[in-house]
Structure 1
C-alpha cells in the first residue's frame, strides 16, 4: 500500500458536486428475495425521480455480475466480496451527489451492515422488499426457483440458504398487499420526509 497515493483532497469535493446537481446523494439499498420486486420498484422510482430532475443510478445484481463482478461465484466469500465491491462503487456515486438505487438480495444482516458501514449511515437507506418465498416462487420470472429446486443452481437464497430479514429497516414494503405504484409513492414519500434529496 506504500505506493498508493490517494488524491481525494485534490479533486472536487462532494459539496461542490451536489451544488452543481442541486441534489443530495444517497443510497437506497433494496433487499429481499429473488423475485420480490426490488429492481421493478427501483426502476419505477428512477423514472419518478427523473421526472423531478433528480439524477440516479440503478445498480442491479445481474448487471453487476456481468461486469465488475463477473469473476465472482456464489459461495459465501464471493457473495460477501460482491456486496463489498458494490458498496464501494455506491459510495463513489453518492459522493458525486447521485441517488443510487441498489437492488441486491444481500441475504445476511452482516452483509447489509458492511454495506452501510462502507457507504456511511447518514447516506444509507435500507428498503426491505418483503415478499414471501411462496409468492416469489410463484412469480419465478427468471425460472431460478425451478432450477434451484431441480438442483441446477446451488446455494440459492430461499431454497438452500436462509434470507435474514431486516429487523429495523428504514422502509418496509409489503409487496403482496401493495401495487408497484403504491410502493413507489412510499419510497418517494420517505425521501421527501427525510429531506434525502
Structure 2
C-alpha cells in the first residue's frame, strides 16, 4: 500500500476514535473504538489495513489469536480474510476444558489470561490482535501463552498504541503494528 493511501486510511480511522478522560478511573484517558464498529466502512478500513500489513510482512500465518475482549471483534474478520483459524485468549475462568494460564499486570490492576490447551498446535505461526497497546501486559501474557503452547508468534496487531507507555518494549523481540499512535 502506498504511504499516502495508508496515511489517508489511518486518519479516517483516527477520526472515529473518541477520548474519555478519567475512565475507567481517574487519571486514565480511555480511547474508545466503538464508533469504528458502528460504521461498516470504518470497520472495513481497519481490517483492510491489518490485512495489507500481514500480507506484506508475513508469508505464512496459521492462526489469528484475539485478546479478550476487543480482539474478538477484529480478529475473526482478519482471520476470515486470511483464510485461517481464530483462537480466543480470555480472562481466567471463561473457557471450558483444559486451559493454560498466565498472570499479568494491567495499566490499572492485575489479571490472569488463559487459552484452551489444544487451541494452537506446536509450531503454528500466530498473529496476536487487540484494539489497544498500553503497557503491554495483556499482549505480553498472550505471547507467554503462545510460548507455553510452543507456537511461533509472528507479531502483534493493534488499532491504537499509546507510545508513552512503552508497551512495545515489553513485547520485544516481537513486532507491533499499530494503525494509530498517541
TM superposition score category, shorter chain reference: 0.3 to 0.5
Taking structure 1 as the reference length, what is the TM-score of the superposition?
Answer: 0.35
Structure with the larger RCO, 1 or 2 (CA within 8 Å, 6+ apart): 1
Taking structure 2 as the reference length, what is the TM-score of the superposition?
Answer: 0.37
Q: Give the number of the structure whose alpha-carbon radius of gyration is greater.
A: 1
- The structure with more helix, counted as a fraction of residues: 1
- The structure with more strand, counted as a fraction of residues: 2
